Amino acid sequence: MLYNLHTHSSSNNPNVFEIVNRYPYEAIDVPYFSTGIHPWHIDESKIEEHLSIIEERLQQPNCLALGECGLDKRIEIPLDVQQTVFEKQLLLAKKYQKPVILHLVAAFQELIEIKNRVQPGVPMMVHGFSKNAQVAKQLLDSGFYLSFGKYLLRNPELSTVLAEVPHDRFFLETDTIEESIAEVYEKAALARNTTIEDIRNTISTNFKTVFKNG
């Protein structure tokens, strides 16, 4: 079994366990999903409505995580609005004890500050990690997990970052790329100078640690 932390489209592959992202306005049409308000899609007239849908969904056993949600400094939605929506979602994750899949762009300091203040007490994964070893270490030291996918395939330098991440602190994903999760596993095995089987066992263990029914 290959585990895919985060994708927007189901592969319908029986050999892949995947968490499919479903926004509050999307139907649940997959076995396992995550749900959250992405900072790109904050609609200030519908925040409470969407939070209500998320709260309802978090109580479903096949909802494995809150997200993706987070902060993005490269969009026009004001950061204070993003932070308010993000914090409200973290409180729901805390209430229902669901892990969090994070979208983070240029706001790592804010993320760490909010985590320390809200103290959700649940695993939090920075998806689509694309930064350098220094940022990786900062996030790992603050208790976050890192998920690699698109940028691992696109940026050779990221392989050296993944090589240094502790085995119990990373995940793999496809997000919106055309490549399969199997191709991401192949790249991760090369990056860590090990076998695909070893990567499979590592990710399987991490999934079962973070997602109790994964």
pLDDT at 24 (0 to 100): 96
pLDDT at 213 (0 to 100): 55
How many domains would you assign to the chain?
1
* CB neighbours of residue 130 within 10 Å: 19
pLDDT in tens, 97-149: 999 999 999 999 999 999 999 999 999 999 999 999 999 999 999 999 999 99
What is the arithmetic mean of pLDDT over 179-188?
A: 98
- What range does the domain containing 118 cover? 2-210
pLDDT at 184 (0 to 100): 98
Which residues participate in the annotated binding site for a divalent metal cation? 68, 103, 127, 175
Q: Is the pLDDT of residue 181 over 90?
A: yes
pLDDT in tens, 190-214: 999 999 999 999 999 999 999 985 4
Q: Is the pLDDT of residue 59 over 60?
A: yes
CA 145/CA 41 separation, integer angstroms: 24
pLDDT in tens, 35-44: 999 999 999 9
pLDDT at 146 (0 to 100): 98
Q: CA triplet 71, 73, 74: central angle to 5 degrees?
A: 120
pLDDT at 214 (0 to 100): 45
Query: In whole numbers, what is the pLDDT of the chain averaged over residues?
Result: 96
CA 106/CA 51 separation, integer angstroms: 25
Q: Are 3 and 19 in contact (CB under 8 A)?
A: no
pLDDT at 212 (0 to 100): 80
Closest among 161, 103, 164, 102 to 132, alpha carbons compared: 161
Which residues participate in the annotated binding site? 68, 103, 127, 175
pTM for the model: 0.96
pLDDT in tens, 45-57: 999 999 999 999 9
Q: CA triplet 203, 8, 16: central angle to 5 degrees?
A: 40
CATH number at residue 30: 3.20.20.140
